[in-house]
Structures are given as C-alpha cells and as structure tokens.
Amino acid sequence: MTKKEKARYVIDELEKLYPETPVPLDHWDAYTLLISVLLSAQCTDERVNKITPILFRRASRPQDMIKLSVEEIRDIIKPCGLSPRKSQAIYDLSHMIIDLHGGEVPASFEDLEKMPGVGHKTASVVMSQAFGVPAFPVDTHIHRLMTRWGLTSGKNVEETEADAKKLFPRDLWNKLHLQIIFYGRSHSPARSPKRDIDYITATIGTKKALEELK
C-alpha cells in the first residue's frame, strides 16, 4: 500500500471502532482543559481525572487559582508527579491569563505557547478541543503508531506531526488524533503487541513492526 492508501485505511477502520471521541480528560471549558492537559504530562489521564475535581473545587478559574499559594496547588496535584514545576506553572499561567488576556484562555497557539508549562502539544490539544481549531497533537501513542504503520520515519514528534498533517484531511485532525490514541491504548501497546488484536499494524505495519507482533 502507498502511504495515501494506508492513511485511508486507518481513517476508515478507526471510524468503525471509535465513531465518538470524547476527550479523555474531564473538563468543562478552556481553562479546566488547559490545566488538565498540563497535569497529564508523565501522568495517566485516569489519575488526572481523580485529582482535578479536588483542585477545581478550590479553583476552576484563574481568578480563584491565584488566591491559592503554589504550595497549596502542589499539595493537591502531587499524585500527578512533577508537582513543583507543574504547580508553579499553573500559578504563573493563571496570572498571565488575567494580566494579559482579560481572564480568558487565549485562542492562539502563539499566546498559549508563551505560558509556562505549555508546549506545542498542550497548546494543540487546547486549540483543537476547546476552540475547534484544526490541530494534530502528537503524544507517545500517535508517534508510536505512525511509526509502526510506516506513515512517518519516527525521528521525532515534530516530523510525525508534519507527516500526519500532510497525510490526513485537515477536517479530520481533531477527531483522528483522539481515535489513534484510543487505538494505541486498546489495541497496540508499546510492548508485546498482539497480532490478533493489533490488526491495523498486522495489515499495514512496517517489516520491523510486523516482526514485533506476537
């Protein structure tokens, strides 16, 4: 198959598996999504969803978050890991949202990526899921699967994102990146993928990926 044919196969199969794509992180607006995505770095979505209700009961708006001390934020989010850095980032970016953006999360990649703790992937998630702007956030699942399927060289996530944007229609990006994540979690783990479960890799995987299937 050509890359274009592989991309069409992936789109069709994932649409059958995941016609609905709820965002895995519990949130209700751009700010709660931004905080949740920031907390999800090196932490599972499941754990984040256990911590954010506690945090958001105290502060679900930047105006409330800055009333907490960095230490108070850190104590709440500690189970998510990297709590010293994340708590400072949450406190500082909440100030930035108030001081520079009138208390509202900006709908701009440039403005989001200027905030502490917010890289391109986090900004992409917020832009796509909170504001509906086409984006293709690449996490470890997407990077792994795009490589296994021979749709990117796998050199780095930046290249994977660029390749994904070339191969897949722009109007599908926001849904498709979640569908690929769901497939990675349920069908194609990083270690010991199974041929009878990871059927997309079994169909279009690279030679190396096929050798890894058990």
* Residues known to be catalytic: 121, 139
DSSP summary character for residue 128 = H
- Number of Cβ within a 10 Å radius of residue 172: 16
Rounded CA-CA distance 70/76 in Å is: 10
3-class state of residue 34 by DSSP: helix
Rounded CA-CA distance 203/46 in Å is: 31
Contact yes or no for 198/187 (Cβ under 8 A): yes
Enumerate long-range contacts of 17-20, CB under 8 Å, 24 or more apart.
17/179, 17/182, 17/183, 18/178, 18/179, 18/182, 18/183
